[in-house]
Chain A
Amino acid sequence: MDELDPEVLSRRQQAMWHPWKADDMTRGLLGQLVGLAMMAASWSEMSSQVTVRGELTWLNLGVVGLLVCGVSNTIWLLQGRRNVGTARVLVLPDPQPRNDAAAVAGPDARVVVKAPGVTMYHRPGCPLIAGKPTVARGARHGRVPCQVCQA
């Protein structure tokens, strides 16, 4: 995974002012050109048709060209989103999760943890709250950890 190497990314970031590589740009441009050519051919050939059937045949080609352009645009945006996401993770790694429960009691299985937006309580090592900010709660009566914790 050469592209995930921070040094490679660093050099690439210095050289590029947009998140797309040359391959992405070529692919996007090619997709647009193919789609546009299909639409142009559709429009051009349709003008010489005199029957509905003949026009619809060439209209289908135009619709396919429009779809090609749409797919090309989607791939372009998804690739850009992916490259930005990769760069964001490398430049701004997620902070270490603040695990109050671990600080209070370590991996004590009797301490349960409540995370904001999470409905159930979890033990400190539960994978369902990995990376999420948590608040330690005492193992009072009525607080039951999730089923993953119990397994």
Chain B
Amino acid sequence: MDIVKWLRNQWDRAAAIAAVGFGVVALILGYLGVSRSTLATQQIPYLASGGLAGLFALGLGATLWLSADLRDEWRKLDLIHKDIRLRQVSATNGSGLIAASKPRAHRTRTAVDG
């Protein structure tokens, strides 16, 4: 798999993976910081930085991934819509136009698109 091509096509999913990774790391670091501190005044800042930032990053990653799914669905609908319109136009203008005016096949992204 060409990783650069995948990153270009799936930038939103790549960002989602990065955000989730960052969130997990932030949560772990926050946990380690809290566990190594003895005073509550030392623990709370770890909670605020590691905990809140980690949860925010996890939420952002999930949102980005689901947004990518919605965007894929939108593009697929757009493809179908264009195809339907093309067939309607060709039906009104007569046959043979489909082959002449068929748009270049453009791929719909999938989660495993490489």
Contact = CB atoms under 8 A, between A and B. Distances in A.
Contacts of A80: 67, 70
A13 B81 contact: yes
B77 A73 contact: no
Contacts of A14: 78
B44 interface: yes
A83 B56 CA distance: 25
Interface residues of A, number: 39
B30 to A, nearest CB: 12
Interface of A: 10, 13-14, 16-19, 35-36, 39, 42-43, 46-47, 49-52, 55-56, 58-59, 62-63, 65-66, 69-70, 73, 76-77, 80-81, 83-84, 87-88, 91-92
A39 B77 contact: no
B77 A87 contact: yes
B74 interface: yes
Contacts of B114: none
B81 A77 contact: no
Nearest to A56: B44
15 contacts: A13-B77, A17-B74, A39-B56, A51-B41, A52-B40, A55-B41, A62-B48, A70-B59, A73-B63, A77-B70, A80-B70, A87-B77, A88-B73, A91-B80, A91-B81
A87 B74 contact: yes
B53 A39 contact: yes
Contacts of A36: 56
B84 interface: yes
A84 B74 contact: yes
Interface string B44-86: 1101110011011001101100110011011101101100110
A55 B59 CA distance: 24
